[in-house]
């Protein structure tokens, strides 16, 4: 399974990100040199927005597989992306289709990835969740 995922990921259009974790950590030790922090912080924020937008596009694309949508929802939740709330709300019943996956030996993956993401996003999700529950 790992090789399949790795091979598929390598064939996808790869978007290189410039800010590395070590850059962020180094900017926290800038020894009162504000410009060093500022440069990393601005790029970090821009790249986070770019990553969030790309994950949201994957999640909303109707051609995206169930696994890929669930993976995107997982990351959107981990990143606590409030801009994803409406898209997540629409697919709140999305569940990982484990019937078509070999999940032996894989780390824990939430079956209710969308609901889990909304919970992690927290307060920004409340109005959307209330709105969705009224529609039912």
- Output the pLDDT for position 88: 94
**pLDDT band per the 50, 70, 90 thresholds, residue 32:** confident
For residue 94, what are the contacts with CB-CB under 8 A and spacing of at least 6?
A: 66, 69, 70, 73, 112, 113, 114
- Output the pLDDT for position 6: 38
Residues 37-80 have pLDDT tens digits of: 899 999 999 999 999 999 999 999 999 999 899 999 999 999 99
- Output the pLDDT for position 3: 30
Candidates 123, 52, 118, 54; CA nearest to 86 is 118
List the chain domain ranges. Answer: 50-135
Residues 74-122 have pLDDT tens digits of: 999 999 999 999 999 999 888 888 776 666 655 566 678 888 888 889 8
- Output the pLDDT for position 114: 83
Q: Is the pLDDT of residue 10 over 50?
A: no
- Output the pLDDT for position 57: 97
- Output the pLDDT for position 112: 80
Angle at 14 between CA 12 and CA 15, to 5 degrees: 145
Whole-angstrom Cα distance, residue 55 to residue 73?
8
Q: Please provide the DSSP assignment of 67-106 as one string.
A: HHHHHHHHHHHHTT-GGGHHHHHHTTT----GGGS--TTP
């Amino acid at each position: 399974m790992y090789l399949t995922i790795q091979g598929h990921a390598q064939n996808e259009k790869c978007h290189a990100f410039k800010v590395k974790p070590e850059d962020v950590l180094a900017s926290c030790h800038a020894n009162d040199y504000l410009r060093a922090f500022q440069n990393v912080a601005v790029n970090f924020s821009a790249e986070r927005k770019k990553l969030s937008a790309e994950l949201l596009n994957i999640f909303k694309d109707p051609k995206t597989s169930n696994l890929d949508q669930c993976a995107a929802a997982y990351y959107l939740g981990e990143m606590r992306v409030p801009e994803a709330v409406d898209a997540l709300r629409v697919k709140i019943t999305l569940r990982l289709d484990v019937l078509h996956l070999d999940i032996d030996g894989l780390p824990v993956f939430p079956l209710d990835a969308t609901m889990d993401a909304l919970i992690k996003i927290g307060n920004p999700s409340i109005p959307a969740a209330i709105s969705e529950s009224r529609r039912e």
